[in-house]
Structure 1
Amino acid sequence: MLDKLTLFISDYSLLVLWGALIFHLIIPISPQFHPMSFWHKFALILAEKVNTSRPYQQRLLSGSLAWALMIIPVIIVYIAAVPLIWNIPLFNLGLLLLSLEWRGVEKLCKDTIHAINKEDKSRAKETLKHWVNRDVEPLSLLGLGKASSETIILAYARTVIGVLFWYGIAGGIGAFVYRLSLELARAWSPSRDSFRPFGIPALRIQYILDFLPLKLFTLLCFIGKNIRHSFQQLQLQKKNWANKNNAGLLIIIGKKFELSLGGPVIYQGKKINRAKLGGKIAPSAIHLAQIHRFLSWRIAIWLILQSSIMVILKQGL
């Protein structure tokens, strides 16, 4: 027993993981002062300079070079700074702390639940617009429920699960670079005409980074009730959705609660048709609360599993 306790203490990567989670939950960083918000704004400023009206291939190349310009220097600075860092575990804790967004998604969930429950569309739109690229003004109360459901599901999957996954793979810098790349994909999303094709390289890279964590989290959410029906729905609906990483998770959770997700969206005044996912019930405030509870438990299970795997690997080494 003492040997196991010594192993747990000596494995600083696990202590960093739980330390970052504790600090993140008890000392949240205000969104307007979060470094990721400044990174997002700088990405938009850069796009204004290089995403000009040029031929398709040149804009595609500009998007690739812009992504490299934003990400590669971060990695180079980290590599150069490692020998100068006096406490690597503490530094990794800081990187992981900056990468997580658990509290932010939780606040989004609570605010949207309260606004939709009170039928306060203005507040719901104001809360949601900071998290999505779609136009929120045309949304009805039912549309806000659907958009909020999708946003909460994917935000938890990326800013919590994706960050934790890449921390387990590559440490603090892995989590940090993943989150930086995620913000670039959001800032330059080619779902908007003004960022097509400029944002396609960032979206493709993010698709690759999301592939394993979202697949594994989808599998974790798949386990439980209605497995057979969820699997049938997954096979039927997944082929009609462009982003396969997102599709599985949205379909599984939509089917678990029989919620209607997907459908048409509006970007910069232009309507884009998407396939419908999940069930037939329009999400309301109570359904958002159910999704939040469901995902919170699945994240807790993920943390236990990841911590166990990290201990087992450390013991094996």
Structure 2
Amino acid sequence: MISSGIILGVAIDWLVGEPKRWHPLVGFGRLANSIEERVNVCSPGFLFAPTVWTRHGKLCGVVAVMLLCLPLPLVLYSLFSSSDSSAVVVYLLNAFVLYLAIGHRSLWDHIRPITEALFRQDDESARHHTAMIVSRDPDALNIEVSAIESVLENGSDAIFGAIFWFAIAGGAGAVFYRFVNTLDAMWGYRTARYHQFGWAAARLDDALNYIPARLTALTYALLSDCANALRCWKEQASAHASPNGGPVIAAGAGGLGILLGGPTRYHGIWHDKPVLGRGRPPTAVDIQRAMRLVSHSLMLWMGLIISAEIIWFFFINDGSVK
């Protein structure tokens, strides 16, 4: 059953946490860096003459995404769908793959030191730990805003998106989604180096996250100040640069009654991000509230998935109890 696989994967993640060594996504990131150096026309290690290939930057990005994201999911799909595979083994492997694909416990582990440092009024330590989870320039970031935006977006990307695609296509779907999501995080910048090459990863990530992000935003709204969350989503989300980050952050900020966004510096360049949400500037307590919102949302998702599968099994599926 899909729901039991999700429960087991989520449980392993919470009890064990992310692997301290040999994390598959870390290894995938290193492989992606190696391929990007050789395939991206704007990278120092590019194999061919830039004057010949510069206009084909998007095509090179498409090739890189296919090389990195397709082989393992196809192998997993073939393995999991084979009639020769043991049902118990397939179930356990699917759950284990989901455990590796989600990051609920790791999100808590990365956020906790930030709030603890803020409560000690140790801004230097809080800034250091925040810089580990965001791509913003450390000396210029707003700690509370950056941490909460990371919590809300990572809830969508590293938890709910992976669960959504696991429910659709099992472990293979979750792996494909997380690979694409990782490449977007690495290459999805509008810099000279990645503007063309990262196009394929960014657009594919937008497509894969379209439904999960909006389900996440709706969940955040239902479990907080719903009216304010929905109003902020409707009125403010389109102003955000990300078509999926906008609804998630706007709904989360509105539901929590805080203000996010504002001027932010990436790689030495200031960006005037739109202000999302309504209420007051966030505090360290609001970082904890955002984490609890993500955790409660995960509980709701699991409950709904279990309920939907029970309804399907007993009342809709042919040959079941009517």
Aligned counterparts, 1:282-293, within 5 A: 282-293=281-292
What's the offset of the Cα at 1:198?
Answer: 1.2
What's the offset of the Cα at 1:22?
Answer: 1.7
**Partners of 2:261 and 2:274 within 8 A in 1:** yes
1:156 aligns with 155
**Partners of 1:108 and 1:152 within 8 A in 2:** no
**Partners of 1:99 and 1:179 within 8 A in 2:** yes
1:145 and 1:222 mapped to 2: Cα distance? 20
Partner-residue secondary structure (3-state), 2:138 = coil
Partner-residue secondary structure (3-state), 2:244 = helix
| Structure 1: stretches of 5+ with no match in the other structure | 1-10
2:57 aligns with 59
Do residues 49 (structure 1) and 38 (structure 2) align? Answer: yes
What's the offset of the Cα at 1:193?
Answer: 4.0
**Partners of 1:184 and 1:202 within 8 A in 2:** yes
Partner-residue secondary structure (3-state), 1:261 = strand
Give deviations 1:72-113, integer Å, cap 9, x for gaps: 112332244444644211221221111111110011221211
What's the offset of the Cα at 1:240?
Answer: 1.4
The equivalent position to 1:69 in structure 2, one of 67, 70, 86, is: 67
| Greater Cα shift, 48-57 or 32-41 | 48-57
Q: TM-score, normalised by structure 2?
A: 0.87
* Corresponding residue pairs, total: 303
Q: What code does the residue aligned with 2:90 have? A: I
1:224 and 1:43 mapped to 2: Cα distance? 37
Partner-residue secondary structure (3-state), 1:198 = coil
1:52 and 1:263 mapped to 2: Cα distance? 33
Partner-residue secondary structure (3-state), 1:264 = strand
1:308 and 1:115 mapped to 2: Cα distance? 40
**Partners of 1:168 and 1:310 within 8 A in 2:** no
| Greater Cα shift, 65-74 or 274-283 | 274-283
Identity within the alignment, %: 21
1:174 aligns with 173
Cα 1:275–1:305 change in 2 (3 A) is same
Partner-residue secondary structure (3-state), 2:241 = coil
Give deviations 1:255-279, integer Å, cap 9, x for gaps: 2232121122222211222211112
Q: TM-score, normalised by structure 1?
A: 0.88
2:72 and 2:189 mapped to 1: Cα distance? 24
Do residues 23 (structure 1) and 12 (structure 2) align? Answer: yes
What's the offset of the Cα at 1:177?
Answer: 1.3
1:50 and 1:150 mapped to 2: Cα distance? 32
Partner-residue secondary structure (3-state), 2:265 = strand
Cα 1:121–1:205 change in 2 (3 A) is same
Cα 1:50–1:261 change in 2 (3 A) is same
Q: What code does the residue aligned with 1:39 have? A: F
Cα 1:112–1:244 change in 2 (3 A) is same
Cα 1:91–1:226 change in 2 (3 A) is closer
Cα 1:113–1:98 change in 2 (3 A) is same
1:5 aligns with none
1:232 and 1:26 mapped to 2: Cα distance? 37
Aligned counterparts, 1:1-317, within 5 A: 11=1, 13-53=2-42, 54=50, 57-82=55-80, 83=82, 85-86=85-86, 87-139=89-141, 143-223=142-222, 226-315=225-314, 316-317=316-317
Cα 1:191–1:106 change in 2 (3 A) is farther
Q: What code does the residue aligned with 2:180 have? A: S
**Partners of 2:94 and 2:171 within 8 A in 1:** yes
Partner-residue secondary structure (3-state), 1:195 = coil
**Partners of 1:85 and 1:91 within 8 A in 2:** no
2:45 aligns with none
